[in-house]
Chains A and B, each alone.
Chain A
Amino acid sequence: MIQIQNLTKVYRLSNKQKKEQNTKEGKKIAADHISLYMKKGEIYGILGTNGAGKTTILRCLATLLKPTEGSVQIDGYDTVKEGEEVRKRIGFLTNEMKLDPQFRLNYLVRFFGMLHGMKDAEIEERKNELFQRFGIMDFQDKLIEELSTGMKQKAAIAVSLIHDPEVIIFDEPTSGLDIITARAVTDYLLELKEKGKTIVISTHIMSEAEKLCDRIAVIMDGKKVIEGTLDEILQQTEQKDLEDAFFSLYQKTNK
């Protein structure tokens, strides 16, 4: 279970960043007083355009960023005060996080298992289960740099889940993947949901959110503009599908 209360994240911009973003302001509010609640056994989707603040929220959940204001609790542990306890319970995956290209997949899985305090036998068992599930058994002795994009993503997922975490936080888990690999990933997320895990994903693929997510929050310019099940969102926005709903919300906030 994840409890986000009044989460606000303000970035200080360097002179270079100011130039890049064409602004004179020294600050950027990436998350603006966001409160969300994610339950066990559900897949929660965070939807938004590029730069809306999705990744910032997820990084705050993963203890990589500290909220400027507000708090995040995962299974009752505060991400700032009890970071280590939080990290024991989460599996975090984002596109910017990579596996070391010079290492063999097998080595890295063991390495991350050990960092999570797992014993050799536990790692081996869990590794076999995950590798078989993702069909990467034959690639375990390959260097990461030798793997294809899809294989790399599967390997990254396997590594992030080696310790069988209760809370799974995936930032755009299917981005850049072909349809078959993407399906394998979403199917696995559904399986994990059945096992009672708490799952949060961010995405900008509307069809994926429709099929996968039990509840959805739409984030625009760092603010939560709507939250609810797919039906609730469609009802509130009076639209037929999520894409139309998203678009109408986008037009409203950018008037």
Chain B
Amino acid sequence: MNGIRIIFNKEMHRVWKDPKMILSLFVVPVVMMILMYGLIGMLGSKSEKDVQTHRSIVRIQNAPEGLADELKPFSEEAEIQYLSSEDDVESVKTEIYEGKTDLLVIFPETFSEDIQTYQSGMPHPDVKTYYNPSETYSELARERFVGSMQEYEKTILEKRFGSVDVLTAFTIDATNQESQIMDEKKASAAYLSMMLPYLITLLLFAGTMSLGTDTISGEKERGTMASMLVTPVKRTSIVMGKLLALTVLSLISALVYIISMVIALPKAMSGLGDMSITLDAGQIVMIAFIMLTLAFLYVALVGIVAVYARTVKEAASYVSPIYLLVIVAGIITMFSGNDGHSWVEYMIPIYNSSLALGDVLSGELEILPFVITILSSVVAGGLLTAGIAKAFGNEHVMFHA
């Protein structure tokens, strides 16, 4: 036990006494994340505002008389240039393609007469629009135009039939202002409970990756491991001390991430509504257990790779595929929904933790899947730890003998 404590303390000392290490592990990632989300949020709201205030640039050929009045408020929000039938529309189409003009509308030359002399069975006058769906402004201009035209159509029909009532079979939510029944808080919490487990599993691994390869492969590479191996302390104590320290450090690193994210995310992404979630004590305990055992499993996983690698570089390249696997497991849980998981799924390490975290956040985790998840992580981590301890005693692994 004493050996484990001494090694544990040394590993912690390595991190806490090194300002560069603290900076790179705990400060830089958080600052980067806040900046990143802040930037995304800022750009998002800026572009949204920009789109809203933009005056659409529209060309209309053969516009029927009085169109501008009929198409309010569209005509007031747009810079409209009216073209005669002789004007060249090809150059306008090129401008739309290039994103300089938002919308081209071509009315039939005889639009007004066609409307007035229309009789049942005659072809309808067809208004042509040209726009660029890859341009936000263009797409929006057409959307607004079509909306206004529908209103315009209504007034024409009213003139034709006296009333549009006969043309309406039913309405949907015409009188119902309370159509949307949702707790906005819950809606954003659902979003967060989908994202968080994925991010937690991911961030935990990211923290473990750099630290784990350094404390094991790094010490092997630098020749500092051998100094420890010639002292009477047990191999298993060295392994346990290192793995425990790594577990604690990656937990701290993940917690710093999560807390800063929970704080930074809602501020940055105000468009998504209130994203704060409230957890009761039971949920917090469950999350803590899941994260602790998962961190231990990750550390053991990185540890076994690191102990077999000759250099930190080699270890990093071996760890990358595992990182991808962790990402995939997280993505699967993100899209697998909240119901219908069998207890067998809770036996698959890593995947189960992500699954269980999602369940806890949405308040649906039962005790059996929880226990299975914890046991699965501990057993898998324990087996890997035993493998690492065995490798520490293997001269071929430790000294390439």
Chain A residues in contact with chain B, CB under 8 A? 11-12, 14, 59, 62-66, 84-85, 87-88, 90, 92, 94, 96-103, 107, 111-112, 114-117, 159-160
Contact = CB atoms under 8 A, between A and B. Distances in A.
B122 interface: no
A97 B232 contact: no
B226 A64 contact: yes
B227 A102 contact: no
15 contacts: A11-B401, A64-B395, A84-B232, A87-B230, A97-B224, A97-B226, A98-B223, A98-B224, A100-B222, A102-B18, A107-B13, A112-B231, A115-B3, A116-B231, A117-B2
Q: Which of A103, A112, A114, A159 has the most CB of B within 10 A?
A: A114
A84 B232 CA distance: 5
Contacts of A96: 223, 226
Contact of A97 (B17, B227, B233): B227
Given A98-B227, A115-B6, A66 B222 contact: no
B395 A65 contact: yes
B6 A114 contact: yes
Given A62-B230, A64-B229, A64-B230, A97 B223 contact: yes
Nearest to B230: A92
A12 B396 contact: yes
Nearest to B395: A65
Q: Which 4 A-B pairs have the closest CB atoms?
A: A115-B231, A98-B223, A87-B232, A88-B232
Contact of B14 (A11, A65, A97, A103): A103
Q: Which of B18, B230, B232, B234 has the most CB of A within 10 A?
A: B230
B234 to A, nearest CB: 7
Nearest to B231: A115
B277 to A, nearest CB: 40
Contacts of B3: 115
A87 B234 CA distance: 10
Given A100-B222, A102-B14, A111-B10, A59 B232 contact: no
Contacts of B223: 96-98
A112 B7 CA distance: 10
Interface string B339-352: 00000000000000
A93 to B, nearest CB: 9
B399 interface: yes
B288 interface: no
Contacts of A112: 227, 231
A92 B228 CA distance: 11
Given A97-B230, A100-B219, A103-B14, 15 more contacts: A14-B400, A64-B226, A87-B231, A98-B223, A99-B227, A100-B222, A100-B224, A103-B13, A107-B13, A111-B6, A112-B227, A115-B228, A115-B231, A115-B233, A116-B231
A102 B215 CA distance: 12
Contacts of A117: 2, 232
Contacts of A111: 6, 10
B174 to A, nearest CB: 72
Contacts of A116: 231-232
Interface string B208-241: 0000000000010011101111111110000000
Contact of B222 (A88, A94, A101): A101
A231 to B, nearest CB: 34
Nearest to B224: A100
Contacts of B229: 64
A11 B234 CA distance: 25
Nearest to B233: A115
A77 B388 CA distance: 26
Nearest to B399: A64
A83 to B, nearest CB: 9
A94 B223 CA distance: 10
B34 to A, nearest CB: 29
A103 B233 CA distance: 20
Interface in B170-228: 219, 222-224, 226-228
Given A63-B230, A87-B230, A115-B232, A99 B224 contact: yes
A84 B234 contact: yes
Interface in B373-401: 395-396, 398-401
A90 B223 CA distance: 18
A102 B124 CA distance: 83
Contacts of A11: 401
Contact of A90 (B13, B14, B230, B401): B230
Contacts of A159: 227
Nearest to B396: A12
Contacts of B231: 87, 112, 115-116
Nearest to B6: A114
A116 to B, nearest CB: 6
A90 B233 CA distance: 13
A59 B399 CA distance: 10
Interface string B108-141: 0000000000000000000000000000000000
